[in-house]
Amino acid sequence: MFNDILEASARIIEKEELTAVTTNTVAEAAGVSIGSLYQYFPNLAAILAELTLRERGILMDNVNRVALEFDSAPLEETLLALIEVAVAHQLARPRLARTLDYLEDSLNLFDETVQIGDEIRAAVASLLRRYDYPLADQAAADLVAMSKGMIDAAGRTGETDSKALSLRVKRATLGYLKY
C-alpha cells in the first residue's frame, strides 16, 4: 500500500498540475481509503518528501550499479554509462523529475539531497582517482554540477532525445577532462 500511494502520487503529478495532488486524490488513485493513507503518511508533504527520496534513491542505485559493472572499464566508457543513467532517469518521467526538483527545497530535504549529491560526487571522484586524474574531488564536483545543469535544463524544456542529450553531456565532460 505504501508504494501504491507513492506511485499514485507520481502518476497524478505526471498527468495533472501539482495543485491536483491532494491526499484525497492520491488515496483515490491508489485505491485506498483516506484513513489508510494517513496510516502511512501524516500529510501530503510527507508523501511528496518520500516520493522525492524514492526517486533520488533509484538514481543512486543506478549510479552504484554502473560503478560496479564498469569497475575495470576505461574512464570514457564508465563516464558515458553514468551520464546515460542520469539522462535516462531525468527523461523517463520528466514532469515528475521537474516537479520534485522544484519541491525539494520546500519539503525540507536539504540534508538528504546533499547526502545523495555527495554520494554521486564520491562515486565520480573514485572513478577519476582510479585513473589518476588530478584534483579528482574538485573535478567530480564540477562534472556532476555541469551534467546536472545540462540534464535538468533539457528536462525543463521538454527534451526527449536521450541519445542526443547524452552525447552533449559526454562531449562537455570529455572536454572538461582534457584541460
Q: What is the CATH number of the domain that holds 13?
A: 1.10.10.60
Number of folded domains that form the chain? 2
Instruction: Quote the pLDDT of residue 17.
Output: 80
Domain with 21 in it = 1-42
State the average pLDDT for the chain.
93
Question: Global pTM?
Answer: 0.86
Instruction: Quote the pLDDT of residue 88.
Output: 95
Portion of the chain with pLDDT greater than 70, in percent? 100
* Domain identity same for 53 and 106: yes
* Domain identity same for 75 and 126: yes
* Domain identity same for 52 and 36: no
* Domain identity same for 122 and 138: yes
* Domain identity same for 91 and 172: yes
* Domain identity same for 100 and 151: yes
In this prediction, residues 67-80 reach a mean pLDDT of 90
pLDDT band for position 90 (50/70/90)? very high
* Domain identity same for 4 and 15: yes
Instruction: Quote the pLDDT of residue 92.
Output: 92
Instruction: Quote the pLDDT of residue 49.
Output: 95
Instruction: Quote the pLDDT of residue 156.
Output: 84
pLDDT tens by residue, 95-137? 999 899 888 878 888 888 888 889 999 999 999 999 999 999 9
pLDDT band for position 66 (50/70/90)? very high
* Domain identity same for 77 and 143: yes
The enclosing domain of 145 has a CATH number of 1.10.357.10
150 pLDDT higher than 90: yes
SS3 string, the chain, reads CHHHHHHHHHHHHHHCCHHHCCHHHHHHHHCCCHHHHHHHCCCHHHHHHHHHHHHHHHHHHHHHHHHHHCCCCCHHHHHHHHHHHHHHHHHHCHHHHHHHHHHCCCCCCHHHHHHHHHHHHHHHHHHHHHCCCCCHHHHHHHHHHHHHHHHHHHHHCCCCCHHHHHHHHHHHHHHHHHC
Instruction: Quote the pLDDT of residue 165.
Output: 96
* Domain identity same for 51 and 131: yes
* Domain identity same for 96 and 162: yes
* Domain identity same for 84 and 12: no
